[in-house]
């Protein structure tokens, strides 16, 4: 009720976007878009049609925003679909045989063994670490705000998210290593994590020139992660200060009792850091962009945070306790899904909503398009967190996929939501954030969906405590 009141006069703002081309691009233009901004590769028609089949460099490719087709591929018949050869080329050197790239029995063993580390109880660790690290970041931002300059919050969200991942996983700080790690990761996202034409054109068994560079890079990266795992294994710990390392080293597969080997553990941690930290940092950054452009929502989030966060150490229930902030995060993930593309290759022939697929055909599900599709959303380009408040109708199955769907759905979804809710709440209750309306903010997607150039925020410390809403604030 109180949230509805706080947002009663809010006119949803138009979120930043990229105008789609009216006509389909040529093959050369598509190849260029794959390395510069995939969002420009989809013509306007894609936001109106449910499915289309076309050629994609020697393969057939189904692009679908049809919820039934998506349910079929990801949920009803997922074992017939695998990741594409290009995905393996790009990711295998850096995440080895971790959960994301494994398949069949091996995947089942890993998923079952990892599951206990991602239960709501385990999220208390994430909530606690996020609150501690947000507090440290606030102190840093107070100084930056005091200098009067504008602040690149993307850079701050990246370092914060990395620190939260490292402390949640290994109870170790990134202080010493953060610079080196970010350098390694930047080289990956800027060069090797992007698909080169030969990655797509060469047969899977032929190494591309980029593959050789990825192997060298991957050895360095996995060595770095192994050193962190070893350091953590040697650390003396307080008995009550558990982290995900404890949960994963103790974890055994139900039934078989099998545990992770050292190499398997290393690959899981490499996967968690790569799959988890940039995606969450981008979610928080996009949410801050939207909140800066929609001050009424920002004030309501600040009020919710002021009512909930000072009460004590947040635990795994914090997301439920902050329904408006959660709705802001979910609406941000609709408008700017960091994982903008979910792509699969068919292992065998299949029939998808009347479309016949052959083995090797590709299926592209593009959350960026799906979430802005005219058939599924009213005013799709507008930022309106009310869509996700308790009591609002849930999106139709297969239309909202920021974390994927089916058995391969993101294992870290609750981790990301917990971190984002705590960090956004803390930022909004301590600062009023604004952007210069003259600054253009362009969404660009290559590995993930990021704002380009990084937005520069003005942070004004809140002197007065934020008005606390009445006690029934969470009962929207």
Closest distance to ligand HEM from the beta carbon of 360 (Å): 18
350: helix, strand or coil:
strand
Residue 111 binds to ligand HEM (criterion: CB under 6 A) = yes
Can you tell me the distance from the alpha carbon of 27 to that of 104, in angstroms, rounded to the nearest whole number? 34
Residue 469 binds to ligand HEM (criterion: CB under 6 A) = no
Residue 188 binds to ligand HEM (criterion: CB under 6 A) = no
Which segments within 31-176 are labelled E, that is strand? 51-56, 59-64, 81-82, 151-152
Shortest Cβ contact with ligand HEM: which residue?
A: 412
Residue 418 binds to ligand HEM (criterion: CB under 6 A) = no
Residue 270 binds to ligand HEM (criterion: CB under 6 A) = no
Can you tell me the distance from the alpha carbon of 146 to that of 460, in angstroms, rounded to the nearest whole number? 9
Tokens of 377: 């959303």
Of 4-12, 13-21, 130-138, 338-346: span binding ligand HEM (CB under 6 A): 338-346
Closest distance to ligand HEM from the beta carbon of 5 (Å): 29
The one among 130, 158, 271, 325 contacting ligand HEM by CB under 6 A? 271
Residue 266 binds to ligand HEM (criterion: CB under 6 A) = no
Alpha carbon separation from 203 to 63, 84, 89, 342, 381 (Å, rounded):
22, 12, 11, 21, 39
Closest distance to ligand HEM from the beta carbon of 227 (Å): 20
Closest distance to ligand HEM from the beta carbon of 142 (Å): 26
- Local structure of residue 210 (DSSP, 8 states): H
Tokens of 124: 């208390």
Which residue's CB is nearer to ligand HEM, number 95 or number 301? 95
Closest CA to 338 of 278, 398, 391, 393: 278
Closest distance to ligand HEM from the beta carbon of 310 (Å): 26
The one among 218, 314, 316, 338 contacting ligand HEM by CB under 6 A? 338
Of 3-11, 252-260, 306-314, 337-345: span binding ligand HEM (CB under 6 A): 337-345
Residue 398 binds to ligand HEM (criterion: CB under 6 A) = no
The one among 145, 342, 435, 473 contacting ligand HEM by CB under 6 A? 342
Which residue's CB is nearer to ligand HEM, number 287 or number 459? 287
Q: Where are the alpha helices (DSSP H) in 176-322?
A: 178-187, 197-201, 209-234, 244-250, 262-293, 295-308, 318-321
The one among 412, 425, 443, 469 contacting ligand HEM by CB under 6 A? 412
Confirm if 154 and 450 have CB atoms less than 8 A apart.
yes
Residue 198: CB atoms within 10 Å: 14
**CB burial readout 237-259, b (16+ within 10 A) else e:** eeeeeebbbbbbeebebeeeeee
Which residue's CB is nearer to ligand HEM, number 145 or number 416? 416
Closest CA to 201 of 189, 211, 216: 211
One symbol per residue from 275 to 304: x for binding ligand HEM (CB under 6 A), - otherwise; what is it? xx--xx--x---------------------
CA 197, 198, 201, 205 dihedral sign is negative
Per CB under 6 A, residues contacting ligand HEM are 99-100, 111, 271-272, 275-276, 279-280, 283, 338-339, 342, 402-404, 408, 410-412, 415-416
């Amino acid at each position: 009720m109180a949230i509805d009141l706080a947002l009663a006069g809010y006119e949803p703002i138009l979120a930043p976007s990229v105008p789609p081309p009216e006509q389909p691009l040529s093959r050369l233009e598509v190849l260029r878009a794959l390395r510069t901004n995939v969002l420009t590769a989809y013509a306007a028609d894609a936001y109106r049609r449910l499915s289309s089949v076309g050629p994609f460099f020697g393969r057939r490719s189904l692009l679908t925003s049809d919820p039934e087709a998506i349910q079929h591929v990801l949920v009803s018949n997922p074992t017939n679909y695998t990741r594409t050869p290009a995905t393996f080329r790009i990711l295998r050197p850096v995440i080895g045989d971790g959960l994301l790239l494994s398949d069949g029995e091996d995947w089942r063993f890993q998923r079952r063994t990892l599951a206990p580390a991602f239960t709501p109880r385990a999220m208390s660790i994430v909530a606690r670490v996020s609150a501690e690290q947000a507090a440290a970041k606030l102190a840093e931002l107070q100084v930056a705000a005091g200098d009067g300059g504008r602040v690149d919050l993307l850079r701050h969200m990246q370092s914060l998210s990395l620190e939260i991942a490292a402390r949640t996983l290994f109870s170790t700080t990134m202080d010493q290593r953060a610079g080196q790690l970010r350098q390694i990761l930047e080289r990956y996202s800027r060069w090797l994590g992007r698909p080169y034409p030969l990655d797509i054109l060469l047969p899977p068994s032929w190494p591309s020139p980029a593959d050789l560079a990825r192997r060298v890079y991957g050895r360095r990266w996995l060595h770095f992660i192994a050193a962190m795992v070893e350091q953590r294994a040697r650390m003396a710990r307080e008995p009550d200060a558990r982290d995900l390392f404890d949960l994963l080293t103790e974890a055994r597969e139900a039934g078989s009792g099998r545990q992770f080997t050292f190499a398997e553990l290393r690959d899981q941690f490499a996967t968690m850091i790569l799959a988890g930290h940039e995606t969450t940092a981008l979610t928080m950054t996009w949410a801050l962009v939207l909140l800066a452009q929609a001050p009424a929502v920002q004030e309501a989030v600040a009020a919710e945070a002021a009512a909930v966060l000072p009460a004590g150490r947040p635990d795994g229930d914090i997301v439920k306790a902050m329904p408006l902030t959660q709705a802001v995060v979910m609406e941000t993930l609709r408008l700017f899904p960091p994982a903008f593309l979910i792509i699969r290759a068919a292992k065998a022939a299949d029939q998808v909503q009347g479309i016949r697929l052959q083995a090797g055909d590709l299926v592209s599900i593009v959350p960026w398009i799906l979430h802005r599709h005219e058939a599924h959303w009213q005013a799709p380009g507008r930022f309106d967190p009310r869509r996700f408040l308790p009591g609002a109708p849930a999106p139709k199955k297969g239309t909202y996929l920021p974390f994927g769907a089916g058995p391969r759905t993101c294992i870290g979804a609750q981790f990301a939501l917990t971190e984002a809710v705590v960090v956004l709440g803390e930022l909004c209750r301590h600062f009023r954030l604004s952007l210069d309306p003259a600054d253009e903010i362009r969404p660009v997607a290559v590995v993930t969906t990021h704002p380009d150039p990084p937005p520069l925020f003005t942070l004004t410390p809140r002197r007065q405590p934020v008005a606390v809403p009445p006690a029934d604030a969470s009962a929207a």
